[in-house]
Amino acid sequence: SNAIARYSLFNPKTMAWENRAVNSTQKKEALNLGLHHQFNDSWSAGLSYSYVFDRHDAKNYQTNSLDKDMSINALINRLRPLNTYQIDVNFSKKKWDVNLSAQIFSGMSERYFTDSRFVVLGLGANYRVNDKLLTYVNIENLTDTAYENRAHSVYGLGAYPQPGRNFLFGMKYSF
């Protein structure tokens, strides 16, 4: 009931960004749904959805009525994706475990993000050489998508870019 934070807001009168301390009552709406299904001994899939929305009743703060994107509520909710979807397809047979995943971010304001939605794919594979040795490879951002999952009002579009395609190879040995 007494959230305190600092936000950078654009003041059209001075044409500059200003830091504002905000004391407010905060209410968060969130929804998380998940579903997993095992098709047979080898194949399974999962689907999840997440939604977060903040509402602030700011004390001693005037919103800029000329720009609906500059209120505290709008700013807080525009600096992160409102919707996140996760889709996983898994295959497991004998010594192999393989996972293909898609993460979808949507509901972003193009005022703060380089696009209103992003799709990021990942691929992982494990191979059990024996009971003690496991080898693995993970490829994150398979399609080398340029994306952000967080924004900053002052630094502009693409302020917090996420990693491009990257690889992780390894082995895990149990003693």
In tens digits, the chain (175 residues) has pLDDT values of 566 666 666 667 887 777 777 677 777 889 999 999 999 999 999 999 999 887 766 665 555 555 555 666 667 777 788 899 999 999 999 999 999 999 999 988 888 889 999 999 999 999 999 999 999 999 999 999 999 988 877 777 888 889 999 999 999 999 9
Token pair for 101: 């995943």
Q: Looking at the whole model, is its pTM more than 0.85?
A: no
Q: Report how far apart, in Å, the C-alpha atoms of 68 and of each of 23, 43, 62, 115, 134 are.
A: 20, 47, 12, 19, 53
Residue 174 corresponds to which amino acid? S
